[in-house]
Structure 1
Amino acid sequence: MMNKTPLYCEKIFPIFPWDKIESVLLDMDGTLLDKHFDDYFWEQYLPEHYSLLHDISVNEARNQLLERYQTVQDTLDWSDLDFWSRELGMDLPDLKLRINHLIGVHPYVIEFLEFCLKQRKKLYLITNAHSRSLSIKLAKTAIGPWFDRIICAGEVGAAKEDLAFWDRLRAMLNYDPKRTLLVDDTEKVLFTAREHGLGYLLFVARPSSRQRVQYSCNFPSIEYFKELLPR
């Protein structure tokens, strides 16, 4: 389930007035964690098992699954492991656990979280990931304790691409949009957050260690969080 972003954009460098930022909202997959795990799971590992179940080629299985993924893109079902387990007749949490050794934190993430805490920023992990997927990743990476609160889109009742998500999230967290930074690897999420009124938006241009860098044409971009740390 790879994100589509514009190609060949010049990098817009991030310059944020940290003294004016109170809250930092961080996406998980592709932003804090290497998205290679998710790309491999949805585009290779799951199609392999689906092909065995239905006695078809891996390519045919991949094509069938990609078509089904697209029907629920930008909805809660997109990342709902229970939904896909029912739809496909497979135990997706179990399959994810089998390859959890591929789950990894991006370089400089911990240093950035440390920096935010020293700056006394409120830290929130905001993810579209299903709660069962979140549990697997938090158990593997142990990044949970860094955050003031962790919120799944399922808890909010809408995906981050939906404006309703942000209206409900603000009611839940009581943050000041104009003094909030959101970091995400999906441009559509950033556009929606900007419509909501978030003051500071940042795009992650290297969500997967196995894919080439793609800068945003519309938002400041980073490859690694090191770029936000004081030198």
Structure 2
Amino acid sequence: MKIPMKEIQAVLFDLDGTLVDSMWMWRDIDIEYLGRYGISLPDNLQKEIEGMSFSETAVYFKETFSLPDTLDEIKAEWNRMAYEKYRYQVPIKPYVREFLDALLVRQIPMGIATSNSKELVQAVIDGQHLEHYFHSIRTACEVAAGKPAPDIYLKVAEDLNADPKQCLVFEDVPAGILAGKNAGMWVCSVYDAWSADMEEEKRRLADEAIMDYSEILRDMEEMK
């Protein structure tokens, strides 16, 4: 294993596709939302907005598709369309809870650094009862630039009083992996079906890659 787990002071997670299996639903939401304006979903949309904050994505939609709604109206509608799914339907990924428990036992602080909205990340936290694990939950809307800029990860590391060089990031897309690396952190790529076609690129950019969290749990057990 390349990542020196014994030296890790804090563990930082992306949300969508990393902690929870949620990427599947955004295609349907985008199709429905753009369909209201008679616009078909572009094939490259997800790649174009990869890593953008919720607010940056709203700007992209408004400018690219010439939408009449204000930025606040766009974001409010996305939150409305997605809230129930995040609160009640989006599952956490395999072995996430076991890994979080292992970190908790070892007293390693944890944080979330997400491009999603505060409302939707809170819906997942409440729905899955994850609130006791995380000492910092930040969205990219709270910093100057979204991923691949390092801002969001540096902010969470600051919250956790952790040296970025001793932080471990879990991410599922290239822009997020680059954000962690640009922050000077160790990065582990997490497999997600939605980004399966990017797997080779993800593995090239990250320090480590896992199919699910059972792999890193096994490594932690072997280090005892």
Bin for the TM-score computed over the shorter chain? 0.7 to 0.9
Total equivalences in the alignment: 206
Quick one: structure 1 residues 84 and 61, their matched pair in 2 at CA, closer, same or farther if it must change by over 3 Å? farther
Instruction: Give the equivalent residue in structure 2 for 1:224.
Output: 212
User: What are the ranges of 5 or more consecutive residues in structure 1 without an aligned counterpart?
Assistant: 1-13
Cα shift at 1:167: 4.5
CA distance in structure 2 between the aligned counterparts of 1:83 and 1:131, rounded to whole angstroms: 19
Using the TM superposition, give the Cα deviation of residue 124 of structure 1 relative to its aligned residue in structure 2, in angstroms: 1.1
SS of the counterpart of 1:25?
A: strand
Q: Provide the C-alpha distance between the structure 2 equivalents of 1:182 and 1:211, rounded to a whole number of angstroms.
A: 19
> Within the alignment, does 1:175 sit opposite 2:165 as a pair?
no
SS in 1 for 2:42: helix
RMSD: 3.3
Candidates 155, 171, 191, aligned match of 1:205:
191
Does the C-alpha gap of structure 1 residues 85 and 66 become closer, same or farther in structure 2, counting only changes over 3 Å? Answer: farther
Q: Which residue of 2 aligns with 1:131?
A: 118
Q: CA deviation at 1:129?
A: 1.2
Matched, 1:31 2:18: yes
Q: Which amino acid aligns with 1:29?
A: D
* 1:73–1:212 CA distance, 2 compared to 1 (3 A): closer
9, 18, 25: which one pairs with 1:40?
Answer: 25
Structure 1 stretch displaced more, 167-176 or 141-150 = 167-176
Give the conservation status (yes or no) of the 8 Å contact 1:30–1:185.
Answer: yes
In 2, the alpha carbon distance for the partners of 1:126 and 1:133 equals: 13
Identity fraction in percent: 19
Identify if the C-alpha distance between structure 1 residues 207 and 174 changes in structure 2 by more than 3 Å, giving closer, same or farther: farther
* 1:63 to 2:42 alignment: yes
Any unmatched runs of 5+ in structure 2? Answer: 60-68
SS of 1:121's equivalent in the other structure is coil
| Alignment-derived partner of residue 63 in structure 2 | none
CA drift at 1:76 = 4.7
CA distance in 2 between partners of 1:122 and 1:111 (Å): 15
Q: Cα 1:170–1:117, aligned 2, differ >3 Å: closer, same or farther? A: closer
Secondary structure (helix, strand or coil) at the match of 1:137 reads: helix
Counterparts in 2 of 1:118 and 1:207: CA distance versus 1, 3 Å: farther
Task: Provide the rounded CA distance (Å) in 2 between the counterparts of 1:94 and 1:106.
Answer: 23
Cα drift, residue 202 of structure 1: 0.5
Find the aligned partners of 2:169 and 2:191 in 1 and give their Cα distance: 14
Give the match's secondary structure for 1:197. coil
Provide the secondary structure at the position in 1 that maps to 2:205.
coil
- Counterpart of 1:16 in 2: which secondary structure? coil
Relative to 1, partners in 2 of residues 1:111 and 1:207: Cα closer, same or farther, differing over 3 Å? farther
**CA contact 2:14–2:112 (8 Å) conserved in 1:** yes
Contact 1:44–1:62 (Cα < 8 Å) also in 2? no
1:176–1:214: structure 2 CA closer, same or farther, 3 Å change rule?
same
TM-score, normalised with respect to structure 2: 0.75
Report the CA distance shift for 1:15/1:118 in structure 2 as closer, same or farther (over 3 A): farther
Give the TM-score of the pair, scaled to structure 1.
0.73
The CA distance in 2 between the partners of 1:222 and 1:44, in whole Å, is 27
Quickly say closer, same or farther: Cα 1:95–1:141, change in 2 above 3 A: same
Equivalent-residue separation in structure 2 for 1:221 and 1:180 (angstroms)? 16
